Structure 1
Amino acid sequence: MGFSTENAPCRKLPRGIVINAGGTVKPDATSFELVAEAGSETFGICQHPFLIENFKVVRYILKLTLNGDGTIPTPITLRDNLEH
């Protein structure tokens, strides 16, 4: 499974938040990070006003290490990657 140098998966989480994380990854990389930050115009976080006032997510980091066959390990737990 190959990756381009710009990876930007979009994750929709329940309760009013959308995360568009990305980063530069070498084609032969087996481990990498995808990051989104609140306020970013490229790899950002869009949140419902209630979340911004009560539980604002400021940064999301997804650290991935590919399986030996190049596939992405599942399941990926998104909740553990949020910074408040």
Structure 2
Amino acid sequence: MLDTAFRAHGLRDLLVTGDVASVLERYLVGTLDEFGASLWAEPVHGCEDIVLEPASCDFLADALFQLSTPELFGTVSSIVESLWTRVPAAEL
């Protein structure tokens, strides 16, 4: 079960594409900065209690890994732009 800190950030036991799309959108519209995007992804990526939506497991795992370790993949801006192009239209 997720602890209070995760629930305070609006997370559930099941991480779905819409959760990541929401973070990406907040970054793109300027209500979340680079630090905030990484700060969101780090504990989620490391939490063993979160299950990834089966239909989007690869995308979600990739998004969490890239956003939580931007030093390996480039700027958060370039990561977000790349991930945004992979979000299914139904989630936008």
Q: TM-score range by the shorter chain?
A: under 0.3
Q: Which has the larger radius of gyration?
A: 1
The structure that is strand-richer by fraction is 1
| Higher RCO (Cα < 8 Å, 6 or more apart) | 2
